[in-house]
Chains A and B, each alone.
Chain A
Amino acid sequence: MPQYVLLLRDDREGVAGFSPEEMQKLIQRYGDWRRSLQNKVVGGQKLKDGEGHVLRKQAGKAAVTDGPFTEAKEVMGGFFIVEADNYNQVIELAKTCPHMDFGSIEVRAIERT
């Protein structure tokens, strides 16, 4: 089955100001979402906040810039890999993701050889 990657970006304001009760409810929503996907999620990882590097060739040499990438309004927070028949199906899955309340989701198909 074709695999897709969901790139999750957010403004990193996230859950600031949430009460513990509200946080627990949000965790619940993510849990419900995962369950509703019925094993379509193949993997997913959270990327560490506030650090990272960007490499770019400048004047023939690799220039390394330190993250965090503060100039970007939205920063990539993590990704999912899901299995689906087509883009439409993935978009429907992504639409219901609680992350939509906090930022954007980029959906890309993984190219198979």
Chain B
Amino acid sequence: MLATLTRIFGPRRLDLAEEVVEDALVKALELWPFQGIPENPSAWLIQVAKHRALDAIRREASLAEKLPDLTRAFPPEDAGHFADDELTMMFLCCHPALARETRIALTLKSVAGFSVREIARAFLAEEAAIAQRLVRGKRQIRDREIQFEMPIGAELLARLDSVLEVLYLFFNEGYSAHEGESLLRQDLCEEAIRLARLVAGHPTTDVPRTHALLALLLLQASRLPARVSAEGELFLMRDQDRSLWDRRLIAKGLAHLDRSATGDELSSYHLQAGIASHHAIAASYAETDWQEIGELYEQLYAMDPSPVIALNRAIALSRWKGPEAGIAALSEIERHPALAHYHLLPATLGELWSELGDTERAAAYYRAALERPCTGPERRLLQKKLGIAGPVILA
């Protein structure tokens, strides 16, 4: 919806578009609860937003001469353009003139409707920094007169990477919410998959790495039903009831993984989807092909030595070669500043030391994990483990 309005008003007026979208949503929230949701909610919202925007523009004398154009630019059949507009909007936000972080923040805000707080959480960053990043991004779009149009040729592929990365982060935010009672936000995962399908379905962006990403998201999403119990408790993969995994999503994911194998491209999404596929087809946690997964993680780490990948690589190594190998791998990243607030690092170390029978060290790590932000269910899981790891005085 924001995308459609941006097409109409031009990217220079992204702020105005954002404002009127919010206005329209507030209006909808006032009326719909009482009158019921209209048959075509998007068309209703667009209509209200357009009127608001038009009012705002009318008030601006400098734009007065543009009015006839704007009125003409409002065709009644807007709804048909939604998909294309959303895709173009993603590419606008992912323009190479913007810093990488800005692109991602802008897309999450303008395409997905994330709040600044939610974006900060997804990035493990401060809210003020994100807000500033967004303001800077919008100013750059305006100053550089970036156009609302799909890139072509080589530029398209370069900008596609940024779009895919955004969808990847977007999905992850839904897959593991970082705080609060809700452990995952299925709606975000579904939205990320919807947008990834949009990208994969468009002739210009239908390339192997798009399918690799879509495969990854589908395979990860297949495990969602088993990830949280009816009581809201977290199940780690080893404890999950695999009969709850969504076979339909797994089949679709594997199909896209096949399609991603056309050509000689090997992206990080190919490797991650490969890892996810080994989990998806394993009969049990113990019967998983950990060597294959460990090797894929080695390749992934070589391609992208980020601390979060290092953490997952260490877990895979611990299953393949034993807990000591995992601890050794983790010691390399234990003091990494990006992981300073990441509870999974100490939680994993606690787990590995517990396997080695060192309950004292395990408990110390579980306690360290509890001091970092995590969701209610994650907290309870850690507390449960602390109970097993040894006696503890609860503050």
Contacts and interface: CB of A to CB of B under 8 A. Distances in A.
B34 A21 contact: no
Given A27-B28, A34-B36, 16 more contacts: A19-B115, A19-B116, A19-B117, A19-B118, A21-B113, A22-B115, A23-B22, A23-B26, A27-B41, A30-B29, A34-B37, A41-B36, A44-B35, A46-B33, A46-B35, A99-B33
Contacts of A78: 33-34
Bin chain B's interface residue count: 20 to 34
Given A27-B25, A27-B28, A19 B35 contact: no
18 contacts: A14-B29, A19-B115, A19-B116, A19-B117, A20-B2, A20-B25, A21-B112, A22-B115, A23-B28, A23-B29, A24-B113, A27-B25, A27-B37, A30-B32, A30-B37, A34-B33, A44-B34, A78-B34
A45 B34 contact: yes
Contacts of B26: 15, 23
Contacts of B116: 19
Contacts, number: 65
A31 to B, nearest CB: 5
Interface string A25-50: 11100110010000001001110010
Contact of B114 (A14, A21, A79): A21
Contacts of B28: 23, 27
Interface string B21-55: 11001101111111111000100000000000000
Nearest to A77: B30
B161 interface: no
A80 interface: yes
B187 interface: yes
Contacts of B115: 18-19, 21-22
